[in-house]
């Protein structure tokens, strides 16, 4: 099956710094990738939809200047949390749609971000 | 975005079948019904999906009501490894967005 690689798995950073999370589709081309965040004991919340070569579409309430998304190729999307604060601490998960299986969504293993 | 409603939690004995219900009364004619499950500290895993007809795969079966306003995920023989949060999701046919509901936490008793 299709594999989505996400790293780092976890990251600890100081308040005010920026953190970049990478999401790669290893064996397929992903025209569309999604970024989610998840707080403990809660469901996944969609943050943004990213299409290759175009600007990401953010969900209501998600600050696009704080969560920078780049989808420069069909196999790579990045999420940069800029000027991170403790309230940004969360589990971030990327996912991708496989062109050949466009009804299936494949998820990365997630990144646990802790901001001190 | 069309929404789904699921029970917060369910329990099952090991080796017995489990029926996980999902209501989606606002589903549109072209929305696909997807099921994913998530283990702690992991990304969700695809289970099954369908549009109108019932579907079977090696993991589970999906029974879709005739009016498509509800569906049921069937695990034929629950194992301890099936303990997870199960999400029923409608894939928006226009935006392709997958919006997660609250999910059902399945506990499997040995």
**pLDDT per residue rounded down to tens, chain B (110 residues):** 668 999 999 999 999 999 999 999 988 888 889 999 999 889 999 999 999 999 999 999 999 999 999 999 999 999 999 999 999 999 877 777 888 888 999 999 99
> In the prediction, which pLDDT does A102 show?
60
The one-digit pLDDT tens for each residue of chain A (116 residues) are 678 999 999 999 999 999 999 999 998 888 889 999 999 989 999 999 998 888 899 999 999 999 999 988 889 999 999 999 999 999 999 999 876 766 788 999 999 999 99
SS (H, E, C) chain A: CCCEEEECCEEEECCCCCEEEEEEECCCCEEEEEEEEECCCCCEEEEEEEECCCCCEECCCCCCCCEEEEEEECCEEEEEECCCCHHHCEEEEEEEEECCEEEEEEECCCEEEEEC
Q: Which residues of B touch A108 (CB under 8 A)?
A: 43
Which two structure tokens, joined as six digits, stand for B10? 């369910």
Give tens-digit pLDDT for A36-61: 999 998 999 999 999 888 889 999 99
In Å, how far is A106's CA from the nearest CA of chain B?
A: 7
C-alpha angle with apex A67: A64 to A70, nearest 5 degrees? 90
| Interface residues from chain B to A (CB-CB < 8 Å) | 32, 34, 36, 38, 41-46, 49, 87, 91, 95-103
């Amino acid at each position: 099956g299709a594999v989505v690689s996400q790293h780092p798995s976890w990251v600890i950073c100081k308040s005010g710094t920026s953190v970049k999370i990478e999401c790669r589709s290893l064996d397929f081309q992903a025209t569309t990738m999604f970024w989610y965040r998840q707080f403990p004991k809660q469901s996944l919340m969609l943050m943004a939809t990213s299409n290759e070569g175009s600007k990401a579409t953010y969900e209501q309430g998600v600050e696009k200047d704080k969560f920078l998304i780049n989808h420069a190729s069909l196999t790579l999307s990045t999420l940069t949390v800029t000027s991170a604060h403790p309230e940004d601490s969360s589990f971030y998960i990327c996912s991708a749609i496989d062109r050949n299986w466009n009804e299936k969504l494949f998820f990365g293993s997630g990144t646990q971000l802790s901001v001190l | 975005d069309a929404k789904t409603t699921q029970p917060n939690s369910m329990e099952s004995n090991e080796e017995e079948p489990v029926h996980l219900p999902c209501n989606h009364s606002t589903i549109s004619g072209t929305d696909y019904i997807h099921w994913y499950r998530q283990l702690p500290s992991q990304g969700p895993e695809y289970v099954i999906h369908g549009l109108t007809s019932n579907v079977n795969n090696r993991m589970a079966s999906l029974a879709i009501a005739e009016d498509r306003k509800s569906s049921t995920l069937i695990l034929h023989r629950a194992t301890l490894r099936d303990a997870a949060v199960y999400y029923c999701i409608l894939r928006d046919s226009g935006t392709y967005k997958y919006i997660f509901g609250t999910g059902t936490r399945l506990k499997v008793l040995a």
